[in-house]
């Protein structure tokens, strides 16, 4: 059997206890084994261990007594048993232990009424493999077609594994954890929500097409966010001369997963590549902006910009203090003048220090009014060199 390649992740662990969340199969456990090799690990997917703690919750605390102050302890799948956080809290405060708390969802932790240790543990998010982690193996076409989840990226039969992943998500994340009462309704909702990838969210339309109540859809969207499959990008609400939209845009975190939910495994069509590329850039911006990523793309806010009138839009508006970076994404090799309309209009917004067009061409250039057109690799280079 050929061993699979292990990719070095950009995420760096903090010095104090922390939660690490991320979608199932994103590589949290593998990362923890690499970073905390030799540390005691409690894997709550181990059914024997899980049942033992169910019978006697105090057993976990008695086992922690054997460890020295300052020692790291890894608890995997912590969302399966939120009550253990009471002991985690006690041993952070009274015994000086440090915990790595891995989970695919914070939903059950929040539902159980826990306060996520009231600030005693930091929060980190792991995303699918990023270009800086894939290195020479990065292939944009492959990423847009199959995504970059480690559980799928290294498989030869990516289509089959992606298809199985969606079923695993429904069974292990949704059904087993009882996150919804109506599993058939949630199953109908998923492919409809996938159609809204990269679009302004219309909850009423989504509910109608999925055949469920509007309030139910709102809850389902929360589940996608809590399980880190998708997230909402808010509209920027600054004071411009026209009224901004108020509805957020929906982005799925991984292009392979959003396609698998729709059961689309063929090479993306030209029409499909637009939202896929835009969604992938959204994930890159969000991931590289997370604390602990080590790239330095920290920001105070990430938005999209689209006045209600005029039909112009800019895909992403990155805020740092009082300054803004505007980014537009086009899945095109050749750009036309009308492609720059949004970036030209956004000069109405004060303090936009840089305007960037990300596209699929080979050579960068700059327009007469200062817009930078950067091929994908050039754009990634700017981020990794911390020039953005």
Per-residue pLDDT of 339-379, as tens digits, reads: 999 999 998 888 999 999 999 999 999 999 999 999 999 99
Give how many domains the chain has, as a whole number. Answer: 3
Q: How far is CA 261 from CA 10, 119, 165, 193, 279, in A?
A: 28, 35, 9, 9, 15
Residue 5 falls inside a structural domain: no
Q: What is the pLDDT of residue 242?
A: 47
Residue 277 falls inside a structural domain: no
Determine the structural domain holding residue 156 and report its residue range: 131-235+248-267
Residues 352 and 326 in one domain: yes
Residue 76 falls inside a structural domain: yes
Q: What is the mean pLDDT of the chain?
A: 90
Residue 6 falls inside a structural domain: no
Residue 137 falls inside a structural domain: yes
Give the CA count within 13 Å in the CB-facing half-sphere of 2. 5
Residues 372 and 298 in one domain: yes
Residues 25 and 121 in one domain: yes
Residues 375 and 294 in one domain: yes
Cα dihedral value 6, 10, 15, 18, nearest 10:
-80
DSSP 253-321: S-HHHHHHHTT--SPPPHHHHHHHHHHHHHHHHHHHTSTT-SS----SEEEEE-BSSSS--EEEEEEET
Q: What is the pLDDT of residue 299?
A: 82
Enclosing H/E stretch for 371: none
Residues 197 and 261 in one domain: yes
Cross-strand partners of 75: 42, 101
Residue 1 falls inside a structural domain: no
Residue 357 falls inside a structural domain: yes
Q: Give, in degrees to the nearest 5, the angle at Cα 253 between 285 and 133.
A: 60
Alpha-carbon distance of 122 to 299, in angstroms, equals: 18
Residues 48 and 100 in one domain: yes
Of all residues in the chain, the percent with pLDDT exceeding 70 is 93
| Residue that terminates a domain, selected from 90, 105, 125 | 125
Residues 57 and 177 in one domain: no
Between 302 and 310, whose confidence is greater? Answer: 302
Residues 54 and 178 in one domain: no
**Region 322-329: what's the mean pLDDT?**
95
Confidence class of residue 241 from pLDDT cuts 50, 70 and 90? very low
| Residue that terminates a domain, selected from 99, 125, 151 | 125
Residues 111 and 27 in one domain: yes
Instruction: Tell me the CATH number at 353.
Output: 3.40.1350
Instruction: Tell me the CATH number at 60.
Output: 3.40.50.300
CB atoms within 10 A of CB 357: 27
Q: pLDDT tens-digit profile of 166-201?
A: 988 887 778 776 678 788 889 999 999 999 999 999
Residues 255 and 314 in one domain: no
Residues 158 and 108 in one domain: no
What pTM value is reported for the model?
0.92
What residue has token string 């339309």? 205
How many helices (H) and strands (E) the chain has is answered by 16, 14
| Residue that terminates a domain, selected from 125, 145, 161 | 125
Q: What is the pLDDT of residue 307?
A: 75
- Residue 296 predicted with pLDDT over 90: no
The β-bridge relationship of strands 199-200 and 249-252 is antiparallel
Residue 241 falls inside a structural domain: no
CB atoms within 10 A of CB 300: 11
Residues 158 and 140 in one domain: yes
């Amino acid at each position: 059997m050929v061993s699979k390649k292990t990719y070095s992740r950009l995420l760096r662990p903090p010095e104090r206890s922390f939660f690490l969340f991320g979608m199932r199969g994103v590589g949290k456990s593998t990362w923890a084994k690499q970073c905390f090799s030799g540390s005691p690990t409690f894997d709550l997917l181990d059914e024997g261990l899980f049942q033992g703690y169910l019978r006697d919750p105090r057993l976990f605390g008695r086992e922690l007594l054997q460890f020295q102050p300052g020692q790291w302890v890894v608890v995997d799948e912590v969302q399966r048993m939120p009550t253990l956080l009471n002991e985690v809290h006690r041993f952070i405060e009274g015994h000086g232990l440090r915990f790595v708390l891995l989970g695919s969802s914070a939903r059950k932790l929040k539902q159980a009424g826990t306060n996520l240790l009231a600030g005693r543990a930091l929060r980190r998010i792991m995303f699918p493999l990023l270009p800086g982690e894939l290195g020479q193996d990065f292939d944009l076409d492959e990423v847009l077609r199959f995504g970059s989840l480690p559980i799928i990226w290294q498989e030869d039969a990516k289509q089959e594994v992606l298809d199985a992943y969606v079923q695993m998500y429904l069974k292990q994340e949704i059904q087993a954890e009882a996150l919804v009462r109506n599993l058939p309704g949630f199953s109908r909702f998923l492919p409809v929500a996938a159609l809204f990838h990269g679009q302004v969210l219309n909850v009423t339309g989504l509910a109608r097409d999925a055949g469920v109540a509007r309030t139910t859809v709102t809850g389902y969207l929360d589940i996608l966010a809590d399980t880190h499959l998708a997230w909402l990008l808010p509209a920027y609400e600054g004071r411009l001369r026209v009224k901004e939209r108020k509805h957020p845009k929906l982005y799925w975190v991984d292009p392979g997963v959003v396609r698998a939910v729709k059961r689309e495994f063929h090479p993306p069509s030209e029409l499909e590549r637009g939202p896929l590329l835009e969604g992938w850039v959204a994930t890159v911006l969000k991931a590289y902006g997370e604390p602990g990523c080590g790239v330095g793309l920290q920001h105070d806010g990430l938005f999209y910009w689209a006045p209600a009138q005029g039909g112009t839009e800019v895909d992403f508006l990155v805020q740092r203090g009082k300054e803004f970076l505007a980014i537009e994404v086009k899945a095109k090799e050749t750009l036309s003048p009308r492609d720059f309309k949004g970036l030209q209009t956004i000069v109405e917004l004060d303090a936009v220090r840089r305007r960037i067009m990300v596209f699929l061409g080979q050579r960068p250039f700059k327009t007469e009014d200062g817009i930078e057109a950067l091929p994908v690799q050039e754009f990634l280079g700017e981020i990794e060199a911390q020039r953005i």
